[in-house]
């Protein structure tokens, strides 16, 4: 058998082997995780855009509550100053810094909601508060979807035969999931109107 015939017989075998080692599944899973991360960022941006309207409404009704409003404004500015690109998703320190900034904003908005129970009867405040609550729900769903996509990607790059393609062709690294880092994040906040 000539070398060309051997090569012709081995080419289909090589193609079949490569098709089973994650050549297409690795970038597909990685892009899915990055798309889910983009959704998380879009929901955080929606929240950042909504908060100034909420703060403006509250300021119109309660100018004496400057401390809480300042905390929210500073937390928003801090949350917007920390960015995380898809390339940073493998760096636990950068993901943690982003999460901390976002969690500080979440804590500040909770303080804002608790500080103004007397404004609950105002229709504008109620509408904005409802939108903020809806946005927080969107953020939570986006984070859940992102974590599921990261789990799928990380599983794909670590299991045979996809691990072969992940290491040889892509040099894939595990992505970092988004975790709650706020103090007592597992406990619901207590609402006290007294």
Number of domains in the chain: 1
In this prediction, residue 122 carries a pLDDT of: 58
| Structural domain for 154, as ranges | 28-170
Nearest-angstrom CA–CA distance, 116 and 106: 16
Share of the chain above pLDDT 90, in %: 21
Q: How many CB atoms lie within 10 A of CB 76?
A: 20
pLDDT tens figures, 75-132: 888 888 888 889 899 999 999 999 998 888 888 888 777 766 554 445 666 777 787 7
In this prediction, residue 121 carries a pLDDT of: 47
Q: What is the DSSP letter of 192?
A: -
**In-domain check, residue 123:** yes
**In-domain check, residue 98:** yes
pTM here is: 0.61
**In-domain check, residue 154:** yes
Dihedral over Cα of 179, 86, 46, 58: its sign:
positive
**In-domain check, residue 46:** yes
What CATH code is carried by the domain that includes residue 135? 1.20.1440.20
**In-domain check, residue 188:** no
pLDDT tens figures, 139-163: 899 999 999 999 999 999 998 888 8
């Amino acid at each position: 058998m000539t070398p060309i015939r051997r090569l012709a017989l081995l080419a289909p075998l090589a193609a079949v082997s490569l098709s089973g080692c994650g050549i297409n599944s690795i970038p597909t899973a990685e892009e899915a995780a990055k798309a889910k991360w983009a959704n998380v960022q879009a929901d955080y941006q929606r929240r950042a855009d909504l908060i100034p309207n909420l703060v403006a409404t509250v300021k119109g009704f309660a100018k004496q509550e400057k401390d809480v409003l300042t905390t929210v404004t500073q937390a928003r500015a801090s949350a917007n100053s920390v960015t995380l690109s898809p390339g940073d998703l493998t760096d636990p320190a950068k993901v943690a810094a982003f999460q901390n900034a976002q969690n500080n904003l979440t804590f500040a908005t909770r303080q804002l909601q608790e500080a103004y129970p007397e404004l609950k009867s105002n229709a504008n405040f109620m509408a904005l508060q409802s939108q903020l609550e809806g946005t927080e729900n969107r953020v939570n769903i986006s984070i859940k979807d992102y974590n599921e996509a990261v789990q799928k990607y990380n599983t794909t790059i670590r299991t045979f035969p996809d691990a072969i393609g992940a290491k040889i062709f892509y040099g894939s690294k595990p992505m970092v999931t988004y975790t709650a880092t706020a103090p007592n994040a597992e406990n619901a906040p207590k609402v006290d109107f007294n």
